[in-house]
Chains A and B, each alone.
Chain A
Amino acid sequence: MREIHVSKITETVKQLCMDANYYLGEDIKNKFYEFKEKETSKLGKEILDILIKNSEIAENEKMPMCQDTGMAVVFMEIGQDVHIVGGNLEDAINEGVRQGYIEGYLRKSVVKDPLDRVNTKDNTPAIIHYSIVPGDKIKITVAPKGFGSENMSRLKMLKPADGVEGVKKFVLETVKEAGPNPCPPIVVGVGIGGTFEKAAFLAKKALLRSVDEENKNPYYAQLEKELLEEINKLGIGPQGFGGLTTCLGVNIEVYATHIAGLPVAVNINCHATRHKEAVI
């Protein structure tokens, strides 16, 4: 049994909140350059250049690349041989978010009650997903999620008869309906299978995978590729002004499901698709 003090967890979460908001992922940067070569819209190319420049300013000046620094979504993969000491785990995570958002000059975008809508002023509480895994370490991933793109996400309980064509149709409809709203170019996370809530979780989790890494199952890797091509034929383009570069990557995660169902969730993310991780 390895002991990990809660202060280490707080410190790590705090740093990840800031890093995720300041530093654009290398995978995304590479996609910007790749698509800039292929983009035929002049304005589209200019917008990709602006987004590259924006990421450089954010990195150099340690300022958030986007003003919507998101709701902090925290994934905790806790080794079963870890013993957490020194306090309450959930409090430690929220304290990390609080410190990260205050000390890192990040926006406080969380309201305590969805109808009463009073700001908590420290961006807590976080959305926390726990899983217990083998080993004696903790892997912490912080994925701040902006709501311009979150609001454009959808979930649908398809019929088994709808099959893969039904899945494709739903993903394309969702992206088309979102249009310019989620700040394209976007990244699309798709969760297929499980139950109502599992599909949504899978779609969110899919966004943590690098956009240059495909699904390990060749069937779904091919589906990711096809969906990316189909989405980029919609012509929405950077910021919705027309062009090839609507989507930088489609990531799919799947799980077993019920004989009567085919749940599909589409979680749309903006170009920044922020996530940073650390193992302690």
Chain B
Amino acid sequence: MQKRITTPLTNECIEDLKAGDSVLLTGYIYTARDAAHKRLVELIEKGEELPFDINGQIIYYVGPTPAKEGMPIGSAGPTTSYRMDPYTPTLLEKGLKGMIGKGKRSLEVVESMKKNRAVYFAAIGGAAALTAKCVKESELVAYEDLGAEAIRKLYVEDLPLIVVIDAEGNNYYEIGQQEYKNSIK
């Protein structure tokens, strides 16, 4: 059973999401990778305004390929999340409620997710042409000089995701692999 969710994420929605859930996401999300994260955290440290209101929002770790004529975006699969770990707790403290990427997260990120009640989703790594079909609009928000790494606001429809780490800190990479191992014993 797939759960349908929308942004901004409400507290009720976050508490309902459990590691292993398949979800379809509709709404606005923001893109940011390594370089954009570095700049966002520098702004927070200087006490300056962020280029978008991060409260209740989801950041998608993606650097898309250039869009062809008439298309909102090019291929747009997730990048590996651990590179954003050093910056993530600062953003969670500022009200970020969801992250979309792929791969493991640090203990510090998981602890901060539990404290700030946030969810980490995985998109299917490598399925970038398919994922692009879910993106209906793309608008540049900040840092155009970063090219593929600029912050964009995307409108996505029925983006298929899997809850990897929920707000309780349950981790589906561990649970799923353990379930598989138990099933073949």
- Give residues in A with beta carbon < 8 Å to B: 40-41, 43-44, 47, 50-51, 53-55, 57-58, 61, 63-69, 105-109, 117, 119, 121, 148, 151, 179-183, 235-237, 239-244, 270-272
Chosen A-B contacts, 15 in total, with CB atoms closer than 8 Å, are: A50-B127, A51-B126, A54-B129, A63-B68, A63-B132, A66-B126, A67-B63, A67-B65, A68-B77, A109-B63, A148-B102, A179-B104, A181-B103, A241-B162, A242-B176
Query: Which residue of the partner chain, among A44, A51, A69, A241, contacts B65 with CB atoms under 8 Å?
Result: A69
Q: Are A53 and B173 in contact (CB under 8 A)?
A: no
* Residues A66 and B102 in contact in the complex (CB < 8 Å), given A109-B148, A183-B125: no
Which residues of B are at the interface with A, using a C-beta cutoff of 8 A?
35, 62-68, 74-77, 79-80, 82, 102-104, 122, 124-130, 132-133, 146-148, 160, 162, 172-173, 175-181, 183-184
Contacts of B147 in A (CB 8 A): 108, 119, 121
- Smallest CB–CB gap between B123 and chain A, Å? 9
Interchain CA distance A40-B185 in the complex, whole Å: 13
A105 touches B177 (CB 8 A): no
B103 touches A240 (CB 8 A): yes
Task: Summarize B's interface: helix, strand, loop or mixed.
Answer: mixed
CB atoms of B177 and A239 under 8 A apart: no
Q: A119-B147, A181-B80 are in contact. Are A64 and B162 (CB under 8 A)?
A: no
Evaluate contact between A239 and B130: CB separation under 8 angstroms.
Answer: no
In the bound complex, how far is the Cα of B128 from the Cα of A67, in angstroms?
A: 6
Q: Given that A67-B128, A148-B79 are known contacts, is A180 also in contact with B102, CB under 8 Å in the complex?
A: yes
Measured between beta carbons, the chain B residues less than 8 angstroms from A272 are 126
In the assembled complex, the Cα of A269 lies from the Cα of B132 at a distance in Å of 22
Known: A63-B65, A63-B75, A181-B104. A108 touches B177 (CB 8 A): no
